[in-house]
Amino acid sequence: MIENNVPNHIAIIMDGNGRWAKKRTFPRLFGHRQGVKRVKDVCNLCMEFSIRYLTLYAFSTENWKRPAEEVNGLMNLFREFLQKEAQNLINKGIRLVVSGRYHEFDDDLVNRIERLKEESKDNNKLVLNVALNYGSRKELVDAARAIVKKGYKAEEIDESIISEHLYEPDVPDPDLIIRTSGEQRLSNFLLWQAAYSELYFTEKFWPEFDRNVLIEALNEYKDRKRKFGGL
């Protein structure tokens, strides 16, 4: 049972949808569809455990390299999720923010994202930060460009200035980063923000992620000693 030392912000690399489907002789897109269902469940669990911020790595800048059929299928899943779950997120007090170059998506999808961001902006039960068309290196490039454009002098730039120009500067750094499917790397995810995050890796594929898996991660987190470089 989770009683104390709950992370304020968890971030999840939702990996393994395609492999989960392949093991069951289903198309990869079926795995992605099952993965979308986990998003709703995990949002509910975060609110139950008083976790205030949840970041989900939904589509990376590298995912464009996948077959066009899979990319198009993912875009349709995002669109479908926004259409079906928008009112549910609002009713539950969830605020949507988005990290990444999502404005490169088609106009219909961008408009849906912008509308839900606006309609949910006053919600405070949970901040759901979805990383869409996100790459941490590109985030740092975009931050550097914004800083230069504002005319900062070199000696004025420090860590706080860089942090203020990231995609969602009001979202605190993640306390805990979870990656599913057994892979043990960050894959260009929150590289700046993850400087002192605790990392947790599970063999479970994302469509298998459930209450028990999250509790295992939270129980391990609460026993970690976070020193942030100190003693």
Q: How far apart are CA 66 and CA 92, in angstroms?
A: 34
Q: Active-site positions?
A: 15, 63
Q: How far apart are CA 27 and CA 153, in angstroms?
A: 52
Per the listing, tokens 């795995």 go with 31
DSSP alpha helices (H): ranges in 92-210? 107-119, 136-149, 159-164
Q: Determine contact, residues 5/172, Cβ cutoff 8 Å.
A: no
Whole-number Cα distances in Å, 215 to 97, 120, 170: 25, 28, 27
Q: Identify the DSSP state of 173.
A: P
